[in-house]
C-alpha cells in the first residue's frame, strides 16, 4: 500500500486520499505526512519487526500512523478506543515479552509462529472465544485487497465511507483496496451522527460505498429510510458482514437502493476476507455468503465446521503457539462457524459451535463478562447469555444472584463494568434471579438456558 500511495502522490497529487471531520489529505499531503511520521517513529525506536501499540482514532491521522509504522518495517497494533487502560498495558506487554531482561521488541522476528511475516496484530475475540492478538501478514492484506477489488469493484473514482472501528478487520480492510486503487476514504467516528453520515453524499464524488454491519443497516432502516432512499442513486455498493443479516432487512435494503450492488461477506480476523455474495443480484437468501474469492478456498470438515485456506489467512496468535495449533493446521483455519457448501460451491452459514455472542459484529466471550462481573463483589454468581435485540440481533444478557445482603441493581453492575471491559461487552439486559442452574460438574448450564 505504501508503494501505491507514493505512486498516486506523483500521478494524482492533489486528489483527496483521506477525508475526516477535521481535515482532508491529498495523496501528496498524505505521503508527506506518512514519511514525516515514519521519521519520528524511527527516532522512537520503531524498526523492522517492532510492534507499535496505539488506539485507533477514527480520523486521517490514524491512517498516517498506521501506514508510517509499516513504512518503518514495524507492526501496527491498533486497539479499539474503548479498550480499558489496564488491558492496553497487558497488550503492550503481550506483544513485547521480555527476553533475558533486555528490550525484546525485535525478538518478534525470532518467533517461529510469526516467520517474519507480520505487519499487523489485531485483537479480537473471534474464532476461539478468547481475546487474542491475531497476526496478519502483508501478504494477507494484499490478498484481502485483491479479493475485495475483484469481487466488489473498488475504483479510483470511488469514495469509501468508513464508519466502523478501524481496529477491526471489517473497516481496516477497506483502506487497502481504496488507497491501492487511487480512491478516497472518508473516515467517520461512528454512525452516531446520522446527519453527518448523509451529508457525506453531498461531496462531489461520482460513486459512494460503505461497509455496514447488519445492526447498522437495521438502524438506518428504522430511523433513516427516507434519507437512505434520497441518496440511493449515488451508492455504488454496500457491503455487510460480521454477523447475520435477516432476509427482511436484505429485501428492504434492495427496495430502498435499487441501483446499488449489495454484498454479504464472510470474513474474520483469522480467515481474512473469504467469500462475498451479491444478494441484490442473486436473491436475498439468509446465511448465503457466495463463492470463495480469488485468493481463498473453503471446505466443510466432518463436524460441519467452515475451514478456510489461501493467502488471506492469519499467521497465528501472538505468544500462543498452542492456541495457534488448535485453529491453524496445515495451512487451514478451522473456524467455529457451522456451514455447508451448495452444489455451486456457495457457502451458507448455519450458526456457531461455541458460546461466543455476536453483538453487532463484535464477538463477546461470556466467560470474560462473567469473570468481570464476579470480581465486583456485587453478585454471588451470574451467567451471561445471548438475548434477542431489535437492532443488534443478539446482545449479552446477565442473569445474576445479588451478593448476600445487597440489593444490586443493573446500573450498579453496568457502572462497575465501564472502563473494565470494552463497552460492547457490557450486558444490555439484566435479570436478578434466586439461583443459577448448573451442570453436573458445577459449571453454569448454558445449554438449558439457551433452550428457555
Partner 1 sequence: MKEHIIALLTEALPMVNIESDFLFSELDSLGVTTILMLLSEEYGIELDARDATPRNLKTIDAIVEMVKSKLANK
Mask for 177-216, x = binds partner 1 (CB under 8 A): -------------xxxxxx--x----------------xx
State how far the Cα of 344 lies from the Cα of 315, in Å rounded to an integer: 30
| Residue number, 224 or 323, with CB nearest to partner 1 | 224
User: Which three cell numbers mark 402?
Assistant: 445479588
Minimum distance, C-beta of residue 227 to partner 1, in the bound complex (Å): 5
State how far the Cα of 159 lies from the Cα of 173, in Å rounded to an integer: 15
List all residues 6 or more positions away from 141 whose beta carbon is below 8 Å from its beta carbon: 1, 119, 120, 173, 176
Q: Of 391, 401, 432, 436, which one interacts with partner 1 (CB under 8 A)?
A: 391
Q: Which of 168, 110, 137 is nearest to 310 (CA)?
A: 137
Mask for 310-349, x = binds partner 1 (CB under 8 A): ----------------------------------------
Q: Which of positions 412-431 make contact with partner 1 (CB under 8 A)?
A: 413-414, 417-418, 423, 426-428, 430
Q: Of 133, 182, 360, 393, which one interacts with partner 1 (CB under 8 A)?
A: 360
| Residue number, 224 or 254, with CB nearest to partner 1 | 224
| Helix, coil or strand: residue 223 | helix
What value, to the nearest 5°, has the Cα angle with vertex 79 and ends 73 and 82? 165
CB neighbours of residue 204 within 10 Å: 6
Q: Which of 371, 354, 282, 270 is nearest to 312 (CA)?
A: 270
State how far the Cα of 149 lies from the Cα of 120, in Å rounded to an integer: 21
* Dihedral of the alpha carbons of 446, 448, 451, 452, in degrees to the nearest 10: -100
User: How does strand 207-211 pair with strand 235-241?
Assistant: parallel
Please tell me whether residue 392 binds partner 1 under the rule CB under 8 A: yes
DSSP lists the bridge partners of residue 18 as 25, 185
Q: Of 55, 203, 224, 374, which one interacts with partner 1 (CB under 8 A)?
A: 224
Minimum distance, C-beta of residue 226 to partner 1, in the bound complex (Å): 7
Q: Which of positions 108-147 make contact with partner 1 (CB under 8 A)?
A: none
Each residue of 362-376: b (16+ CB within 10 Å) or e? bbbbbebbbebbeeb
Minimum distance, C-beta of residue 190 to partner 1, in the bound complex (Å): 5
| Residue number, 51 or 427, with CB nearest to partner 1 | 427
Minimum distance, C-beta of residue 414 to partner 1, in the bound complex (Å): 4
Please tell me whether residue 443 binds partner 1 under the rule CB under 8 A: no
Minimum distance, C-beta of residue 417 to partner 1, in the bound complex (Å): 7
Q: Which of positions 21-80 make contact with partner 1 (CB under 8 A)?
A: none
Minimum distance, C-beta of residue 337 to partner 1, in the bound complex (Å): 24
Q: Of 102, 411, 443, 451, which one interacts with partner 1 (CB under 8 A)?
A: 411
Q: Which of positions 287-316 make contact with partner 1 (CB under 8 A)?
A: none
Write the burial class of residue 353 (CB in 10 Å: 0-12 exposed, 13-18 middle, 19+ buried): middle
Minimum distance, C-beta of residue 425 to partner 1, in the bound complex (Å): 10
DSSP lists the bridge partners of residue 187 as 20, 162
| Residue number, 62 or 430, with CB nearest to partner 1 | 430
Minimum distance, C-beta of residue 158 to partner 1, in the bound complex (Å): 23
| Residue number, 113 or 362, with CB nearest to partner 1 | 362
DSSP H/E element including 322: helix 321-327
Candidates 250-258, 340-348, 375-383, 389-397; binding stretch for partner 1 (CB under 8 A):
389-397
Q: Which of 387, 333, 338 is nearest to 358 (CA)?
A: 387
Q: What is the DSSP string of 334-357?
A: EEEEEEEE-TT--EEEEEESS--E
Q: Of 390, 404, 441, 442, which one interacts with partner 1 (CB under 8 A)?
A: 390
Q: Of 244, 341, 410, 420, which one interacts with partner 1 (CB under 8 A)?
A: 410
Minimum distance, C-beta of residue 222 to partner 1, in the bound complex (Å): 6
- Give just the sign of the alpha carbon dihedral 266, 272, 274, 275: positive
Which residues bind to partner 1, rule: CB under 8 A? 190-195, 198, 215-216, 219-220, 222-224, 226-227, 360, 390-392, 410-411, 413-414, 417-418, 423, 426-428, 430
Amino acid at each position: 500500500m505504501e508503494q501505491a500511495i507514493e505512486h498516486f502522490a506523483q500521478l494524482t497529487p492533489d486528489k483527496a486520499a483521506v477525508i475526516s471531520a477535521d481535515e482532508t489529505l491529498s495523496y501528496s499531503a498524505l505521503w508527506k505526512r506518512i514519511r514525516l511520521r515514519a521519521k519520528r517513529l524511527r527516532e522512537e525506536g520503531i524498526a523492522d519487526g517492532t510492534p507499535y501499540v496505539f488506539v485507533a482514532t477514527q480520523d486521517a491521522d490514524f491512517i498516517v500512523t498506521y501506514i508510517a509504522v509499516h513504512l518503518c518495517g514495524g507492526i501496527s497494533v491498533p486497539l479499539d478506543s474503548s479498550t480499558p487502560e489496564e488491558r492496553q498495558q497487558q497488550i503492550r506487554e503481550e506483544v513485547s515479552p521480555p527476553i533475558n531482561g533486555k528490550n525484546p521488541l525485535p525478538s518478534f522476528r525470532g518467533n517461529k509462529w510469526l516467520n517474519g511475516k507480520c505487519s499487523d496484530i489485531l485483537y479480537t475475540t473471534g474464532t476461539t472465544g478468547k481475546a487474542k492478538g491475531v497476526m496478519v501478514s502483508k501478504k494477507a492484506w494484499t490478498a484481502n485487497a485483491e479479493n475485495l477489488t475483484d469481487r466488489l469493484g473498488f475504483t479510483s473514482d470511488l469514495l469509501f465511507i468508513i464508519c466502523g472501528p478501524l481496529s477491526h478487520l471489517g473497516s481496516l480492510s477497506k483502506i487497502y483496496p481504496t488507497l491501492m486503487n487511487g480512491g478516497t476514504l472518508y473516515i467517520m467516528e461512528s454512525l452516531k451522527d446520522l446527519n453527518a453520515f448523509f451529508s457525506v453524499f453531498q461531496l462531489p464524488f461520482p460513486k459512494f460505498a460503505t461497509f455496514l454491519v447488519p445492526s447498522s443497516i437495521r438502524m438506518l432502516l428504522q430511523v433513516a429510510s427516507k434519507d437512505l432512499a434520497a441518496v440511493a442513486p449515488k451508492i455504488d455498493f454496500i457491503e455487510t458482514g460480521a454477523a447475520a443479516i435477516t432476509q427482511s432487512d436484505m429485501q428492504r435494503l434492495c427496495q430502498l437502493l435499487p441501483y446499488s450492488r449489495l454484498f454479504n461477506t464472510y470474513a474474520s480476523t483469522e480467515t481474512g476476507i473469504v467469500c462475498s455474495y451479491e444478494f441484490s443480484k442473486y436473491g436475498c437468501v439468509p446465511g448465503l455468503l457466495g463463492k470463495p474469492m480469488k485468493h481463498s478456498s473453503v471446505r466443510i470438515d466432518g463436524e460441519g465446521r467452515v475451514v478456510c485456506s489461501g493467502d488471506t489467512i492469519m499467521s497465528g496468535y501472538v505468544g500462543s503457539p498452542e492456541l495457534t495449533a488448535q485453529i491453524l493446521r496445515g495451512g487451514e483455519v478451522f473456524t467455529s462457524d457451522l456451514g455447508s457448501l451448495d452444489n455451486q460451491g456457495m457457502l451458507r452459514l448455519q450458526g456457531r459451535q461455541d458460546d461466543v455472542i455476536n453483538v453487532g459484529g463484535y464477538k463477546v466471550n461470556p466467560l470474560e463478562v462473567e469473570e468481570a462481573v464476579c470480581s465486583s463483589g456485587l453478585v454471588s454468581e451470574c451467567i451471561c447469555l445471548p438475548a434477542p435485540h431489535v437492532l443488534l440481533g443478539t446482545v449479552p444478557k446477565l442473569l445474576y444472584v445479588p451478593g448476600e445482603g445487597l440489593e444490586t441493581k443493573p446500573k450498579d453492575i453496568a457502572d462497575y463494568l465501564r472502563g473494565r471491559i470494552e463497552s460492547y461487552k457490557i450486558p444490555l439486559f439484566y435479570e436478578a434471579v434466586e439461583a443459577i442452574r448448573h451442570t453436573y460438574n458445577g459449571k453454569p448450564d448454558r445449554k438449558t438456558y439457551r433452550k428457555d
